[in-house]
Amino acid sequence: MNSMDKNDVKNDVKNDVKNDLVSFDENPYSHEIKKPEDIVRLFYEYNVPILPVISKRGILFGILKKDDVIAELSDIARSSIRVDEFVQKLAKKMTMDELIPLVVNVNDIVAIDLFGEVQGKWSRLDLFMAAEGHFGKKDKKGQDSEIQPKDTAIEWLIYLVLEHIPRALYAVNSNGKTIFFNGHFEEVYLNTYPDSSDVDVAQVETLLMDTTRNDIFTSYVHKRQYFFNKEMKTYYERVPLKDENKTVGYLFLFERDITKQDLLIPDIISESDGIDELLSRAHRAILVKALVQSDYELATTATMLHITEQDLKKRIKNFNITINKPLEYDK
C-alpha cells in the first residue's frame, strides 16, 4: 500500500469517527436537547398529574408531581440544570394511600426514565404495586426476594378483585371522600353524563352523600334495601366498610337489573314527593307484589287483594304494569 492509499484509509476512518460523533451529539439524553421544560409538556400531553420515574428494568425510582415540577421551573436560574439532575431532585417516594387521590381519575399513567424519555404506560395497579415495593427486595444473601408483606399482598388482591367484578362499584371513606371506583362505574357515569370525559369525583361524592338526592326503597323481588339516586337515575346498595366494628367508609354497589317492575316501596318520606305520590307508589307496589306471588294469575291475585278481577285489570292498566301475558280489559 503506497502512502496515498494509507492517507485515504486514514481519511475514511476520520470521517467514520466524525459521523459517530455527530450521532452521539444528537443523543436525546443530551441536556442541551432534552430540557426540564420538556417534562412539563408530558403532563399536559398525556393529561396526568404525576409521572413515575423508572429504571430500564421497570424499578420505580420515585414520582414526579406536576405541581412540584411547575413550581421548580418557576425559578429561571434553574433552567440550565441537566434534565436527569432535575428529575432526580424532584422524584419522591410515595405510598399507595398518597397516590390514590391523585390518580382516581386516571386509567393509564405514563412512566419515564431519568432523562425524561417515555418508557410506556402503567395501569393504576402497576403504579400501586411499584409504590408498595412489589418488585422484590434484597434478602440477606443479596438475592431478589419475591416474598411480599402480608398486608400489602392482601390490599393488592382486594384491589384486583374489585376492579374486575362485573358490577359498578364506588367507595368512599368515612368523610365521604373517594377512595376507589372501577371501570364499570366509569361506564355508568359517562353514559349518564355523555359530555364528560372523566368521572367528576366531587360531583359523585355530593350525589351519593346528599340524602335529599337519594330515596330508600325495599325490593320485594330481591329482598334487599336499595337506594335510588334521582340525578343518575340508578339503584344501588350501600355497604358499610367496617374495621373493628367502626365504620371507616362505604361501598356503593350499583344494580343494573333493578327496574320499576321489581316494585320498590319507599321506606322514608321523600322531600320531593307528597302524600299522593307516596300512596300511588305504594299502591302500585302492592299490586306488583301480589301479581308476582300469584305468578300473574289474575283470579288468584284478585282474591289475595279482596277485589274483583275486573277491578284488578283496571288498576293494572292505570298503573301501567306490564305482565307476561296480554290482558283483555273490560270496557
Q: Phi and psi of 167, rounded to 5°?
A: -155, 140
- Nearest Cα neighbor of 147 from 136, 133, 160, 161 is 136
pLDDT for the residue numbered 5: 54
Question: What is the DSSP track for 116-151?
Answer: S-EEEEEEHHHHHHHHTTTT-EE-TTS-EE----HH
pLDDT of residue 325: 54
Q: What are phi and psi of 263, to 5 degrees?
A: 70, 100
Question: Nearest Cα to 61, choosing from 99, 112, 124?
Answer: 112
- Phi/psi region, residue 160 (left: phi>0; alpha: psi -120 to 50; beta: rest), is alpha
pTM of model > 0.75: no
Instruction: Give the DSSP H/E element, type plus range, for residue 74.
Output: none
Q: What is residue 203's predicted lDDT score, i.e. its pLDDT? A: 93
**Predicted pLDDT at 262:** 53
Q: How far apart are CA 196 and CA 201, in angstroms?
A: 12
Which pLDDT belongs to residue 33?
64
Which strands, in side-by-side order, build the sheet including 60-65? 60-65, 50-54, 108-112, 118-123
Distance of CA 295 to the CA centre of its chain: 41
Antiparallel, parallel or unpaired: β 224-229 and 214-219: antiparallel
Amino acid found at 27: N
Return d(Cα 98, Cα 102) in angstroms, integer: 8
Please give the DSSP secondary-structure letter assigned to residue 327.
Answer: -
Structure letter (DSSP) for residue 232: T
In this prediction, residue 169 carries a pLDDT of 92
Unique residue bearing C-alpha cell 359498578: 168
3-class SS at 204?
helix
**Angle ∠(47,50,56) on CA atoms, nearest 5:** 110
CA angle 86, 134, 126 (to 5 degrees): 70
CA angle 214, 216, 217 (to 5 degrees): 135
pLDDT of residue 304: 85
Mean pLDDT split into 10-residue runs, the chain, 331 residues? 52 47 40 76 91 87 91 68 87 85 83 90 83 51 42 59 82 86 88 89 90 74 74 88 83 74 51 69 80 85 89 87 56 35
Q: What is the pLDDT of residue 266?
A: 52
